Structure formats: C-alpha cells, structure tokens
Amino acid sequence: MSSSVSQYYKDKYKPSVGPEELEEPLYDPDLLKKLDWSKTTHMKNGVTSSTPGDGLLVRPLCKGDYNKGFLQLLSQLTKVGDISRESFEERFEQMKACRDHYYVTVIEDTDKGEIVGSATLACELKFIRGCTKRGRLEDVVVNNEYRGKQLGKLIVSTITLLAKEVGCYKIGLDCKDEMKPFYSSIGYCSEKGNDNTMIIRF
C-alpha cells in the first residue's frame, strides 16, 4: 500500500481500523478526491463523494468488506449465492489484477461499520475512437433502510464522474423499466434508435 493510501485510511477510516490487509482498497482512493462535482446539479445540500453526510464514507471496496455486509447488500439486488471468504478474496485479487478495469465503490455507515451502498464502474478497453475506453455502470444497490438520503444518486453520480475521470468516452447501464425515471433524473438517457439491450442467459 502506498503511503498516501495508508494515510488516507488513517485520516478517514478510523471507526473500523483492522489489520492493514483488510483495509486494502481495490483501487487508489485518491481517484475519488479528483472527481469534479462542480457541474453536478441534482445533489441537494452539497452532498458529494467527499461530503456524503454524517457517519458516511464513500470509498473503494476493501477486502475487509466481506465482514461488513457487502455481499448481504448485493443480495438486495439479485442472487448472490453462498460465497466463502476465500472465494471473495480470490475474486477481489482477480479484479485488482485487472488494473484500471474494476472500480467497485461502496458507501460505509462508519458508525455501524456496515456497507450500505455499492456500485461498480467496469471499464472496457476499445480499439474504436482511438483506443478509447467505455464505462459500464453495474450492480447498483442501496440498503432499503437508507432510502431518502440521496445515497442512490450519490453512488451513481460518483461512478459517473469516476468514468469521466479515468477517460471513458461514455458510460451506460442496463436496468429494470421501473428504474428508468431514476437514471433519467441524473442524466442518463435512451438514445433514439439505439435503445435495445439484448441478452442470452446461460
């Protein structure tokens, strides 16, 4: 861990200090400090990733989040399955090894030491558009009990700005029909004539 990352946790992550390995972030937390919130108009009361609200912290996923309800939170989105610590850590290491590709970002309730929101930026490397990158917004979930605190908008906006920061030329998502008004309210739109998600489930 670089000294700046380690200092970040000394300053920001006091409530759940544990062995350094558990605090290992999936990506450099300093990236979140670089996000430009100046043009984001849909957040109320000055909420940003740096000022998420009392007792809340926006940060990269850490290894120790296995113990902080991360997987239980994901199960509010879809099936998760019975994932051992070993499997979790192996997947974490695989994601980390794909440098600049997976940015799993969480909101922690630092009073409870619990993960209450999460979303992922997945970056695809492309040949098109001069070897550009495309972002995908994935696995957005906020604990039901934390509704009304702008946490959905906060985590999605964080990922959107992160996609811009790391050089994606666009970011897209798949969602249920009922979620379209939410994503529309924070800047996502369907492109005319280019609005079809097609899948094969295995």
Binding residues (CB under 6 A) for ligand 16G: these are 77-78, 137-140, 173-175
Tell me how far CA of residue 170 lies from CA of 45, 194, 195, in angstroms: 27, 14, 15
Smallest separation (angstroms) from ligand 16G to the CB of 76 = 11
Smallest separation (angstroms) from ligand 16G to the CB of 59 = 19
Among the listed residues 171, 179, 177, the one whose alpha carbon sits nearest the alpha carbon of residue 142: 179
Smallest separation (angstroms) from ligand 16G to the CB of 171 = 10
Calpha distance 154→25 (Å, rounded)? 20
Using the minimum distance from each CB to ligand 16G, give the nearer residue, 116 or 140.
Answer: 140
Using the minimum distance from each CB to ligand 16G, give the nearer residue, 78 or 84.
Answer: 78
Smallest separation (angstroms) from ligand 16G to the CB of 160 = 11
Using the minimum distance from each CB to ligand 16G, give the nearer residue, 56 or 159.
Answer: 159
The residues, any chain, with a CB within 8 Å of residue 180's CB and separated by 6 or more, are 190
Residues counted in the chain: 202
Using the minimum distance from each CB to ligand 16G, give the nearer residue, 22 or 188.
Answer: 188
Q: What is the number of other CB atoms lying within 10 angstroms of the CB of residue 22? A: 15
